[in-house]
Amino acid sequence: MANLNDADELWRQIPPEEKLALLNRSHGSGIFAAITLILIGAAFAIGLQHVWLFWGSFLVAPLVFQFSAGKMWRSLKPAIMLEFLAARSAARRFAFTAHAKDLTLQLMFRGTMQELDNPEDVEAQVESAIAGVKETEVWIALFKDAVVLMQEQPGGAQARFAQPITTKLDVAVENGSEGDYGPDKAILLGYSHKLLGNRRVKVTSPYPGAMVVFEKTLARRMNEARATEKGIAAIAAPEMSDELE
């Protein structure tokens, strides 16, 4: 029963837009099988001069569609669940490395990441020009107190951006030409660190709905982080004044 609950929870974490893409692929397989059956029935009807073969293929086509679409769905659903399970495990490892305390996953979906060149970092600009590739396909994972962007590679996943959700994390939103749900919507993530320097990345995704949920959830987590840090500062201020007295 526990395994069933885990599978249900994993399935709920997959974005609806990706589930819809799987459904479209399954329906496409069913439509192709049904049309193929009708064409074969028409060919036999013409060749054998039996009209009932053609109409019979029409009657059987809905059953063939249902069988083919169901078979495709049963093969695609476990595959995508395994992909998300592996990505979730890797993202949790990177979030733990980034000193995240709560590894509860809020959202995970596919997207792209683009490094925004720092005018002061000449070496990064040269490497970007040589590579000639601006955007990288990544998994976007949002935890309760961390954001992780990771890239799939033959040797395993690689963290491209992993930061805890604190006031040091800079977040900006660029709405596209079609508004909040436009396909060109982007979210800018950045930070300033004494040792790591300044860094900014641009996150986009072919799933605008997931991007909106990511934006809203991240904004809520940022507000909670600000409130927590203000509370800690308010508690620490009287203690420091008592020590000075």
CATH code for position 110 = 2.30.29.30
Whether 102 contacts 109, CB under 8 Å: no
Residues 135, 231 share a domain: yes
Residues 222, 156 share a domain: yes
Residue 167: its pLDDT value, please?
Answer: 81
Residues 135, 16 share a domain: no
Beta-carbon contacts of residue 144 (< 8 Å; ≥ 6 apart): 100, 102, 103, 104, 106, 165, 221
Residues 117, 233 share a domain: yes
* 15 lies in some domain: yes
CA 34 to CA 17: how far, in whole Å?
Answer: 26
Residue 122: its pLDDT value, please?
Answer: 47
* 61 lies in some domain: yes
* 97 lies in some domain: no
Residues 53, 123 share a domain: no
Residues 78, 22 share a domain: yes
Residue 209: its pLDDT value, please?
Answer: 86
CA 118 to CA 115: how far, in whole Å?
Answer: 9
SS (H, E, C) the chain: CHHHHHHHHHHHHCCHHHHHHHHHHHHHHHHHHHHHHHHHHHHHHHHHCCHHHHHHHHHHHHHHHHHHHHHHHHHHHHHHHHHHHHHHHHHHHHHHHCCCCCCCEEEEEEEEEEECCCCCCHHHHHHHHHHCCCEEEEEEEEECCEEEEEECCCCCCEEEEEEECCCCEEEEEECECCECCCCCCEEEEEEEECCCEEEEEEEECCCHHHHHHHHHHHHHHHHHHHHHHHHHHHHHHHHHHHHHC
* 173 lies in some domain: yes
* 201 lies in some domain: yes
* 89 lies in some domain: no
Residues 149, 237 share a domain: yes
Residues 157, 199 share a domain: yes
Range of the domain at 77: 2-82
What six digits make up the tokens of 25?
């692929």
Residues 132, 21 share a domain: no
pLDDT along the chain (245 residues), means of 10: 62 86 92 92 86 86 92 91 90 89 88 73 50 74 90 84 86 74 81 71 88 89 78 56 46
Whether 182 contacts 176, CB under 8 Å: yes
Task: Tell which residue, 25, 17, 16, 20, has the closest CA to residue 183.
Answer: 17
Whether 167 contacts 226, CB under 8 Å: yes
* 200 lies in some domain: yes
* 98 lies in some domain: no
How many domains is the chain built from? Answer: 2
